[in-house]
A and B are shown apart, each in its own frame.
Chain A
Amino acid sequence: MRAGWAGSSLFRAIALMVLAVLAAPAAAEMQTQVYGQWHTDISNGLFDAFTVKAESRFGLLCSKKCLYYLMRNKPCKEGARYSAIVNTPVDARVVTLTCYRDDRVYVFRFDADLGPILAGGDLGVALALDGQFDVATFSLTGVIDATRAIVAAQRTLESTPPPASAPPPVPPAASADPQVQRFGQWVSEATSDAWYAYTDAPSGASFGYTCRAGCNFYVHPRSPCMVGGAYDLVVSNQAERFRIRATCLTAGDWRYFDIGNDPGTGRGSTISISLLAVGEETPETFSLEGAKEAIPSARRQWMQSLASGHPLPAKELKLPPPPITDAPPVVTH
């Protein structure tokens, strides 16, 4: 049942792909099977054997390497390591898990091969979170067949040579540059070390999504901001209006705010973001036409890059906004 055990960098890449699997459970090319209480999904080069209980999920995910993961609706800190004790009828083991976060989904990656203790009965995980134990239990009925199935499928794929006459890659429809794709009012763009999806307002402000060490949303305001200064941003989408506290960051002569999670790109046709400065609210409205395609495109390219061994930045960096040629002049206070 044990496949090749992954090194730390590949672990991260694969763990990030867990998020993609979770975010797109109905992928078109997905092959699924059921083994007792376990399921297998094979799609897009990912081999996933998992079981679900309530809103939690535990499984083994393989690409070139394999890892065990736990999806739990419990907030954790991206990149932080947590201790847990895993309990099965075979043995109990203390393990370390690393948190990965994507929007509101939290995934814990096990830093250990649990294969030798997975057999029959139930598995319990007691995860130490802020001094309390969060306990999740899962059935192991079918685990051996399900994990064997994905490992066998993975090995079959690895041993299958590529077709002799593979179709040529399809260039992006709206651009001759394969690194840039247009989706409505949005652009998905890749540079040597970062991936972007963004839209520009006529004023020169922009709003988008960037991936490098991780992914986050950002806004480049028309109004100037003082680097390092904390500002209030008011976000309005079709469903809600809320305030975000964010710090003005810089990339070259650019000023931007990292606004973290999705502020509501799936809600309505526009989103407005106002920078509150000296009591004045200056709203910028951004079109969301094409956002639903551009953002996953950027994220997908980023994940593919990670999976193919793209080196991650040495440390978590604040992401620069996408390069634009008509950026307004920036005035610092």
Chain B
Amino acid sequence: MLPLIAFVAMAVTTGGPASEQTQSFGKWHTHIVLNGASMQSGSAYTEDGPGTGFGVACGRVCTFYLVSPIPCVDGTEYKALAANRTETGEIRLRCMHLDVGDGLIPQDGALIEELLTGDTISFAFPLRDGQFNISSFSLNGAKQALAAVVGRWKQEGGTVHAPDDGSKAADPGLNDTTL
């Protein structure tokens, strides 16, 4: 079974897969779907337990993704705090429902990129009632895995940006900022 993050990549692609390539780099993995010699979609990802993953998915667009076992409301934007050993940053993530689960798309990929240094990247997601979901992902192998997918995707003419599919919830209320 493909990891959830790989399904996320397929969700933003076009056309059907022809063949697949997978590789591992430390704690990170890549999954590339080829259409002939061209990359149709790909993902570089790592996991922090069942149903929890973080990575980049490239298809029609190329973007960071988080997957969480905690359900979110499709189209709603959430806030979270991301951190590595030396830096932190507030991020906003938009929920995307998929057949296989919920994905969260950071709206500021540049901030995530800045945090991809050091050994781990962690996220604190506010839940209801003052609780948090804390996810921590190893960056061991991240650089190589991201280069394998995003680098190839760029070589083939892709442009990295966060998706803007117009699904942002209109005027989310205060309570909408927790999962």
Chain A neighbourhood of B90, CB < 8 A: 83, 85, 94
Least CB distance, A107 to chain B, in whole angstroms: 20
Q: Please determine whether A126 and B130 come into contact, CB atoms closer than 8 angstroms.
A: no
CA distance A84 to B81 in the complex (A): 7
The 8 A-B pairs at the shortest CB distance, nearest first, are namely A122-B130, A131-B85, A124-B130, A83-B88, A92-B126, A126-B124, A87-B126, A94-B90
Q: Is the CB of B122 within 8 A of A87?
A: no
Q: Which of B79, B88, B126, B177 contacts A128 (CB 8 A)?
A: B88
Rounded to whole angstroms, the CA-CA distance of A283 and B134 in the bound complex is: 51
Sample 24 A-B pairs with CB under 8 A, ordered by A number.
A82-B88, A83-B83, A85-B80, A85-B90, A85-B124, A87-B127, A89-B129, A89-B175, A90-B175, A91-B175, A92-B126, A94-B90, A121-B129, A121-B130, A122-B129, A122-B131, A128-B83, A131-B119, A132-B122, A133-B134, A135-B132, A135-B134, A137-B130, A137-B131
Contact A90–B174 (Cβ < 8 Å): yes
Task: Specify the main secondary structure of chain A where it touches its partner.
Answer: strand
CB contact under 8 A between A94 and B129, given known A131-B85, A131-B122:
no
Indicate if the CB atoms of B88 and A130 lie closer than 8 Å.
no
- Smallest distance from the beta carbon of B150 to chain A beta carbons, Å? 23
Question: Whole-angstrom distance from the CB of B136 to the nearest CB of chain A?
Answer: 7
Complex CA gap A94/B178 in Å reads 13
| B161 within 8 A of partner (CB) | no
The complex places the Cα of A87 from the Cα of B129 at a distance, in Å, of 8
Residues A57-100 near B (CB distance < 8 A): 82-85, 87-92, 94
Q: Identify which of B86, B130, B178 contacts A123 (C-beta below 8 A).
A: B130
Q: How far is the CA of A123 from the CA of B130 in the complex (A)?
A: 5
A87 to B127, CA, bound (A): 8
Hey, which chain A residues are within 8 Å of B81, CB to CB?
A: 83-85, 94, 126, 128, 133
Cβ contacts under 8 Å, A121 to chain B = 129-130
How many residues does chain A have at the interface if contact means C-beta atoms less than 8 Å apart?
25
Report the nearest B residue to A92, measured CB to CB.
B126
Could you tell me if A91 and B129 are in contact, using CB atoms closer than 8 angstroms?
no
**What's the A-B contact tally at a CB cutoff of 8 Å?**
82
Verify A89–B134 contact, CB threshold 8 A: no
How close is B156's CB to chain A, nearest CB, in angstroms? Answer: 34
Which B residues from 106 to 162 make CB contacts under 8 A with A? 118-120, 122, 124, 126-132, 134, 136
**Closest residue of chain B to A131, judged by CB?**
B85
**Which of A89, A126, A131, A137 is within 8 Å of B118, CB to CB?**
A131
Kindly state whether residue B13 has any CB partner on chain A within 8 Å. Answer: no
Q: Mark B81-117, 1 if CB is under 8 A from A, else 0.
A: 1011110111000000000000000000000000000
Distance in angstroms from A115 CB to nearest chain B CB is 15
> Measured between alpha carbons, how far is A83 from B122 in the docked complex, in Å?
13
Chain A positions 289 through 311: 1 when the CB is less than 8 Å from some CB of chain B, otherwise 0:
00000000000000000000000
Complexed CA–CA distance, A137 and B86 (Å) = 24
B73 to chain A, nearest CB (A): 15
Interface residues in A128-177 by Cβ distance below 8 A to B read 128, 130-133, 135, 137-138, 140
Residues of A within 8 A of B89 (CB): 83
Q: How far is the CB of A212 from chain B (nearest CB, A)?
A: 30
Asked if A94 and B79 sit within 8 Å, CB to CB, the answer is yes
- Scoring A90, A124, A126, A140 by chain B CB atoms within 10 A of each residue's CB, the highest score goes to A126
Cβ < 8 Å to A, chain B residues 2-30: none
CB < 8 Å neighbour of A124 from B85, B86, B122, B132? B132
The CA-CA distance from A126 to B82 in the complex, in Å, is 11
**Chain B residues within 8 Å of A87, by CB:** 126-127, 130-132, 178
